[in-house]
Amino acid sequence: MNAAKRLEIFRRFHEDNPEPKTELAYSSPFELLIAVILSAQSTDVGVNKATAKLYPVANTPEAIYALGVEGLSHYIKTIGLYNSKAKNVIETCRLLIELHGSEVPQTREALEALPGVGRKTANVVLNTAFRQLTMAVDTHIFRVSNRTGIARGKNVVEVEKQLMKFVPKPYLLDSHHWLILHGRYVCQARKPRCGSCRIEDLCEYKDKTSDD
C-alpha cells in the first residue's frame, strides 16, 4: 500500500470520528490500567459491567489491595480467567504502592514489570492515559492491518513496527483506536462488512464481500 492511500484512509477515519476513545470505562490512569488487565480474552462490555460495581467501592491501589484476591474475585467473577486476573491485579496494586507511590508509571519498562501487563497493555495505557505515541496491536488491529494492506506482518510486534513507521504522523496518536473500532464493527473476523466500509475503495483485500 502506498503512502497516499494510507493518508486518505486515516483522513476518513478522522473525519468520521475526530476524537476516538477506548470503549473501556475509566476515570483515572489506574482505573484504565486495571480495566485493560481485566480485558484480556474478555469483551470491553463485560469488563465495564464488572468495574461499574468495583470502582465505586475500590478504585485506588490501596483500596483494591485491601480487598484481597477473594474480595476482588467477588466483583470480577463474571469475567473470564477471573481468578488469575484477581491475583495479578492484587500483586500489581502492591507493587504500585511499594515502588511507584501508588501512581501508574509512564514508561513501558515499568509497566511491563507489573503482573498481567504485557506489551499490548502497556501500549494501551501509555497511549490512552498518557498520550504517548504507541501502538497497541490486538487481534482486531492485527487482522485489519494485514487484511487491508495498511501494515503487514507475521506477528503483532511486526505489525506494531510497521504501523509506527507507516501511519501518517498527524494521525498516529489516535490510530490504534480507529483501527480497533474498524475491526470490531466493520472489518470483522468471520465476514468483513465491505459493503458498509468507509475505506472499501482503498483497501487491498482481494475477497471483498457484500453485506447481504
DSSP 8-51: HHHHHHHHH-SS---SS--SSHHHHHHHHHHTTTS-HHHHHHHH
* The three three-digit cell numbers of residue 52, written as one number: 461499574
Q: Is 197 annotated as a binding residue?
A: yes
Answer yes or no: 138 catalytic.
yes
Q: Smallest Cα–Cα separation from 82: which of 93, 70, 90, 73?
A: 73
Give the whole-angstrom CA distance, residue 128 versus residue 22.
8
Q: Is 93 annotated as a binding residue?
A: no
Answer yes or no: 120 catalytic.
yes
Selected catalytic residue, list 16, 49, 87, 120: 120
Question: Is the distance from CB of 12 to CB of 199 less than 8 angstroms?
Answer: yes
Selected catalytic residue, list 138, 161, 201, 206: 138
Packing angle of the helix pair 44-54, 29-38 (nearest 10 deg):
130
Q: Which residues are annotated as a binding site for [4Fe-4S] cluster?
A: 187, 194, 197, 203
Residues involved in catalysis: 120, 138
